[in-house]
Amino acid sequence: MSKTAIITGGSRGIGQAMSEKLGELGYNVVINYRSDSSKALSEKIAADLESKYKVGTLVVKADVSKYEDCEKLVKATVEKFGDNIDVLVNNAGITNNSNWIDITHEAYERVIGTNLMSALHMTHLVLPHMINHSSKDSQCVIVNTSSVGGMTGVINQADYCASKSGLIGLTRALALEFAGRGVRVNAIAPGMIMTDMLRGVNQDELNALAATIPEGYIGDVSDIAGALAYILTAPYLTGQIISPNGGFVLQ
């Protein structure tokens, strides 16, 4: 029987790479996006997955900072693929890059809502569709996309760091709560990864960034997709924070 995975923020950058990895691993993939500008990209990813890997896909627009939109996302998944959900990847994330004096409360509430509250909402709604059919031999998996920013401080990123640190706490608590019940919960904490945001930085700034990383280069989205694949296929792994960061942060 085919398995189903939901990924929030699955249309760009790290999210796109993880969506593609899920399809490669044989999952039906539910790709969530928020902005209208991501609709066509999400649909193209879905079409490519169906063509290349012969899996089912579903594309759902939802602002996962809102509980009612998360309900819509989960309902659409169940209606298309059935009551069992095997994988949830809480990947939706944004940042403000603002100092803490000038930032508005609306701005940091948006970051906390998108990065942290979305994961609380989605796990709350998806877990009933996992716990009722999972077992030691047929595990379900939740993966939260945190950041090295959740492990250490970053200037002008207080709200972002708080949200990503919160995901680490959520990961560890849920891993303990559902240990032995067929649901594993882990997190990925990426370091500096080449995404659209870094592509806009000039070459000198990129080189300066790379020089701060012990491995000497900025990571690729495939590094994060690879970490996801490992987590999904490692039955003894739960409550862990996997951080592909080139040695930038040591745990």
The residues that are catalytic are 160
Alpha helix (H) residue ranges in the chain = 13-24, 39-53, 67-81, 105-112, 118-131, 158-177, 196-199, 203-211, 221-232
Burial of 38-49, coded b for 16+ CB within 10 Å and e otherwise, reads: beebbeebbeeb
Structure token digits, residue 33:
């996006």
241-242 vs 87-90, strand pairing mode: unpaired
SS3 content of the chain, % helix, strand, coil (to 5): 50, 15, 35
Closest to 166 measured CA to CA, from 229, 230, 120, 228: 120
Q: What is the DSSP letter of 113?
A: I
